[in-house]
Amino acid sequence: KLTVSKVNLGCQSTKAGKGIGFRVAIKNDRTNTLWMYSPKVLFEVNLQEVLKKCEEGDSILIMTVDQKYSLSHHVIEVEWGC
């Protein structure tokens, strides 16, 4: 499962903070088009279910729904095999 959350960094420990709502889109590599995986705001998603909708070369995009949060790494590239 994939989640997005704030991280609380301490001197001695790191803890996951509050979950952040996000949406998932899939970019089709063949047609260079985007489509929304789910119209709902998600707080976790099963990546195996998302991958069932993908083709090799596609990208999974993670987008926060609150503008005060942004992700520096928001793309997961889909590759099959080793």
Q: Which two tokens stand for residue 33?
A: 């088009």
Q: What residues have CB less than 8 Å from 81, skipping those under 6 apart?
A: none
DSSP character at residue 68: T
Sketch the domain layout of the chain as residue ranges: 5-77
CB atoms within 10 A of CB 4: 19
pLDDT tens sequence across 19-55:
999 999 999 999 999 999 988 999 999 999 999 999 9
Distance (Å, rounded) from C-alpha 36 to C-alpha 24? 6
Tell me the whole-structure pTM to 2 decimals: 0.84
Name the one residue in this structure whose structure tokens are 């990208």: 59
pLDDT at 7: 83
